[in-house]
Structure 1
Amino acid sequence: MAYRLEKERDMVEASDAMEIRDLSFSYDGREKVLSHIDLCIPKGKITVLLGANGCGKTTLFRLMARNLSPDEGEILLGGVRIEELSRKEFARRAAIVHQSNTAPPDLCVETLVGYGRTPYLHAFQSAGSKSDCEAIRWAMELTDVLKHRKKMVSELSGGQRQRVWIAAALAQETELLMLDEPTSFLDIRYQIELLQLIRRLNRDYGMTIVMVLHDINQAIRYADEIVGMKDGRITAQGLAEELVTPDFLRELYGIALPLTELSGQKFVLAV
């Protein structure tokens, strides 16, 4: 991916990476958590799903990641319904990093990152080809975990472990990276470093990024587009700098939040 995407990053077509049509979902078959969602994820952009707890953004993410199946509607990836793709084919097109990830205590970093090559391997085959090794090394270099490649994942800090999981996702060689609350449980330094890495993946390698975030200011700073969600519906979608207004925040969170501007950048003041 390092090589293919870098060559093609200036050739990104003006199209959607993923399209969601009339999507509805309930966990119990009665009460809808999501109702008639229509959403397009623009190719080559960073899109952030934003909203209060319980708004449905994590459920929507899990549906997009194929962890859940919709009651109604469809999700298309590259114009193909995701349920029509085999698991390997889906994993060649979209890489997923969940909020909570676990690994066996005796698993080393390089082995975990190598699991990202699974979609390209046959049964009982291990990642050992030249292309596998190049992709694994590139992913570890870019995420700054190459120096830890022989360490056990359990020995690393929370921020380092999150980078390892992202490296495993990058080793899949996809053009779409989806992350569910990637900054959760991290201190501010690791949050910023991680978001800068994600922006670099988008800007330098042309990756389409979809993230679920809680922090409004991080969404404004790092997103190209924000999707606002409330009560299982999309309330608004648009450019981050234009979409975030006092009215938008009040609609999303049910509270008046002061909004200011510093050096041309909007900030929400939590008081």
Structure 2
Amino acid sequence: MNAIQTNCISLNVHHFKLDNISLTIPNQKISSIVGPNGSGKSTLLKIISNLLKADQGSVYIYEKEAQCYKNKEFAQKITMLQQSKNQLPNLTVKELISFGRSPYKHFFSNQLSMEDEQIISEAMQITNITNYKNRLFYSLSGGEQQKVRIAMALAQKTSILLLDEPTTYLDISHQFEVMELLQYINKHFNITIIMVLHDLQQAATYSNYMIALKQGKIVQRGIPNEVLTKEFLQSVYNLQARIKFEDGYPLIIPNIRR
């Protein structure tokens, strides 16, 4: 069973068209959506997460049409972390992570059960942020904040995690820390991860499957070694370069005129 399937998704928004997108996302794998700026990557992710409604087409989550899920049921299947530089006012780390339990609570209830407390504690342990639980979220570094947001997603106990450019605004060490954490979560908890990435080398290194968009259309899909070729770089990014794989890690080497 695939985690996600889209059939003929199209959307016109702000002079941009996402055009007839049909794809399948493998279950319990890491998939990356790549492509140039303005190609529709984030738009597609928002449609999958129900944040945007397509003009036509359908999205299926575990072979059930997304529109057939009730809101709470959908939130127990899939969660999305969007790009964010906004600071949350006066919330501690634990308070923020506790929002991940919202889909399991009764209306008007904000009391944490013993089960909630255990799940929140486990999410903090997995992301190695237990020591921060009483600190204010805005006092943390960018990398620490991203781990807190991932912990909140883990507390939601969904089987699908969507991330829109999870390493944006982070320095190189925190970028790899976040990517290693996501890979750990996928391998140890079988969570399907779908993320929009700009860094092709990160996408190819950490993904099992890649989907490339250009001007609102799918132009390539498959395993990283098949997608990431010099022909792909030329046609999609207008970049003349060669690719060298070392221990499975791709190096994109541009053709520089001397």
Question: Which TM-score band (shorter chain)?
Answer: over 0.9
Which residue, out of 24, 27, 43, partners 2:13?
27
Q: CA deviation at 1:180?
A: 0.3
Return the letter of the residue paired with 1:24.
Answer: S
**TM-score normalised by length of structure 1:** 0.90
**TM-score normalised by length of structure 2:** 0.95
CA distance in 2, matches of 1:252, 1:203: 31
**Corresponding residue for residue 185 of structure 1:** 169
Is the counterpart of residue 110 in structure 1 residue 94 in structure 2?
yes
**Corresponding residue for residue 199 of structure 1:** 183
**Corresponding residue for residue 8 of structure 1:** none
Is the counterpart of residue 269 in structure 1 residue 256 in structure 2?
no
- Asked if the contact 1:260–1:267 (Cα under 8 Å) also holds between the matched residues in 2, the reply is yes
Give ranges in structure 1 of 5+ residues lacking alignment. Answer: 1-14
**SS at structure 2 position matched to 1:185:** coil
**Corresponding residue for residue 147 of structure 1:** 131
- Asked if the contact 1:50–1:212 (Cα under 8 Å) also holds between the matched residues in 2, the reply is yes
**SS at structure 2 position matched to 1:144:** coil
CA distance in 2, matches of 1:110, 1:164: 9
Identical-residue share of aligned pairs (%): 34
**Corresponding residue for residue 212 of structure 1:** 196
**Corresponding residue for residue 219 of structure 2:** 235
Once the two structures are overlaid, the 10-residue window that deviates more, 40-49 or 83-92, is 83-92
CA distance in 1, matches of 2:18, 2:61: 19
Distance 1:264 1:128, change over 3 A: closer
- Asked if the contact 1:118–1:127 (Cα under 8 Å) also holds between the matched residues in 2, the reply is no
**Corresponding residue for residue 62 of structure 2:** 78
Map of 1:8-19 to 2, 5 A cutoff?
15-19=1-5
Q: CA deviation at 1:259?
A: 1.3
- Asked if the contact 2:201–2:249 (Cα under 8 Å) also holds between the matched residues in 1, the reply is no
Structure 1 residues 42-93: Cα deviation after superposition (integer angstroms, max 9, x where no partner): 0011000010001111110111111110001001111122122222111100
Return the letter of the residue paired with 1:140.
Answer: M
Which residue, out of 211, 235, 239, partners 1:251?
235
**SS at structure 2 position matched to 1:192:** helix
Structure 1 residues 83-139: Cα deviation after superposition (integer angstroms, max 9, x where no partner): 222221111000111111645321100010000000000112124212111110111
Map of 1:56-71 to 2, 5 A cutoff?
56-71=40-55
Once the two structures are overlaid, the 10-residue window that deviates more, 45-54 or 118-127, is 118-127
CA distance in 2, matches of 1:104, 1:265: 36
- Asked if the contact 2:205–2:248 (Cα under 8 Å) also holds between the matched residues in 1, the reply is no
Structure 1 residues 134-159: Cα deviation after superposition (integer angstroms, max 9, x where no partner): 11011111111111000000110111
CA distance in 2, matches of 1:38, 1:250: 24
Give ranges in structure 2 of 5+ residues lacking alignment. Answer: none
- Asked if the contact 1:48–1:219 (Cα under 8 Å) also holds between the matched residues in 2, the reply is yes
**Corresponding residue for residue 31 of structure 2:** 47
- Asked if the contact 1:16–1:41 (Cα under 8 Å) also holds between the matched residues in 2, the reply is yes
Return the letter of the residue paired with 1:78.
Answer: Y
- Asked if the contact 1:23–1:70 (Cα under 8 Å) also holds between the matched residues in 2, the reply is yes
Once the two structures are overlaid, the 10-residue window that deviates more, 184-193 or 57-66, is 57-66
Count of residue correspondences:
255
Distance 1:171 1:99, change over 3 A: same
Q: CA deviation at 1:257?
A: 2.2
CA distance in 1, matches of 2:117, 2:103: 14
CA distance in 2, matches of 1:130, 1:175: 22
CA distance in 1, matches of 2:111, 2:152: 12
Distance 1:91 1:101, change over 3 A: farther
**SS at structure 2 position matched to 1:54:** coil
CA distance in 2, matches of 1:169, 1:78: 19
